Amino acid sequence: MDFGFSWAGLVVGIAVGATGVGGGSLMTPILILFYGISPGVAVGTDLLYASISKAFGVGLHSRNGSMDWKLVGWMSLGSVPAALLTLLFLHGQPQGKELDQLIKLILAVAIMVTATFTLVQDPLLKLIKRNGGQMPVVVDRWQRPLTVICGVAIGVLVTISSVGAGVIGMMMLLMIYPKTPPIRLVGSDLAHAVIITAIAGAGHAGLGAVNWSMLAALLVGALPGIWLGTRIGFRLNETVLKKAIAGLLIFVGGTMLAKILF
């Protein structure tokens, strides 16, 4: 086991614990840009890392009753078939530079979208709260079909890039379910993330795109990092932390796009 990867796990774990932001949007580009890991292996390993690390959060939300399993089921109805079809597509592609470039391009765009959503998430929550949850974003009868469509988008994005199950999924749910308490959306989004990252990660393992020793080293750093991050988050300004993470994501995503395009 190369404990050098544990430092990456620790840094990302602290970010996730303190702000709820980070996960795949930080871990995968860190592995690619700073450790020289191939995009396919970085995505596959990060998917299983995310599934295991997020499972601890699901346990907490489940005990607190902040979980809507019906909502998780509707999201999974779209995301699981989408993930399986995306894995089938990836299995049919020759492993090489072209596939790596595709993964990096989608990853860079997903990171930029995550950064944008991170900046607007808190203002959106305040707007919903100020309006008493009465924002008529969608008609109630459209909520389930839109939830399935949301799941499809997340399933494809996560399977290719390992990004999307967290902040992007949460923003979609906030728009579809403005009357639902945000804490229930957070718990539901987290539970769905565990399911979809586990399925996508298993598919990448079938491609041979998982480094098991690196996964173990990442978890060695991540689990105490999440614990430490939650305590740091209580003592620091969460808004400032999220803006800092968003700025870092924009820098990382921009750097990756620049390397691809120029």
Q: What is the pLDDT of residues 98-121, one digit of tens each?
A: 888 889 999 999 898 888 888 887
Maximum average pLDDT range among 53-67, 141-155, 171-185, 232-246: 141-155
Dihedral, CA atoms, 149, 92, 34, 8, nearest 10 degrees?
60
Q: Picking from 25-39, 122-136, 219-233, which range would have the lowest pLDDT averaged per residue?
A: 122-136
Q: Is residue 155 pLDDT above 90, yes or no? A: yes
50 with 24: CB under 8 angstroms?
yes
Per-residue confidence (pLDDT) for residue 61, from 0 to 100: 59
Domain extent, residue 183, equals 4-261
Please state the rounded mean pLDDT for residues 77-99. Answer: 90
Q: Is residue 181 pLDDT above 60, yes or no? A: yes
pLDDT band at 71 (very low <50, low <70, confident <90, very high): very high
Average pLDDT, the chain: 83
Say how many residues make up the chain.
262
d(C-alpha 102, C-alpha 164), whole Å:
16
More confident residue, 189 or 238: 189
Strands (E), the chain: none
Task: Tally Cβ neighbours within 10 Å of residue 239.
Answer: 11
Q: Is residue 133 pLDDT above 70, yes or no? A: no
Q: What is the pLDDT of residues 4-41, one digit of tens each?
A: 889 988 888 887 777 666 677 888 988 998 899 999 99
Task: Tally Cβ neighbours within 10 Å of residue 34.
Answer: 10
Per-residue confidence (pLDDT) for residue 99, from 0 to 100: 86
Provide the domain count of the chain: 1
Per-residue confidence (pLDDT) for residue 47, from 0 to 100: 93
Per-residue confidence (pLDDT) for residue 213, from 0 to 100: 93
Q: Picking from 63-67, 99-103, 160-164, 206-210, which range would have the lowest pLDDT averaged per residue?
A: 63-67
Per-residue confidence (pLDDT) for residue 142, from 0 to 100: 82
d(C-alpha 132, C-alpha 60), whole Å:
27
pLDDT band at 175 (very low <50, low <70, confident <90, very high): confident
What 8-state DSSP symbol labels residue 177? -
Per-residue confidence (pLDDT) for residue 238, from 0 to 100: 65
Please state the rounded mean pLDDT for residues 82-96. Answer: 89
Q: What is the pLDDT of residues 237-262, one digit of tens each?
A: 767 777 787 888 888 888 888 878 77
Per-residue confidence (pLDDT) for residue 16, from 0 to 100: 75
Per-residue confidence (pLDDT) for residue 135, from 0 to 100: 52
Per-residue confidence (pLDDT) for residue 139, from 0 to 100: 55
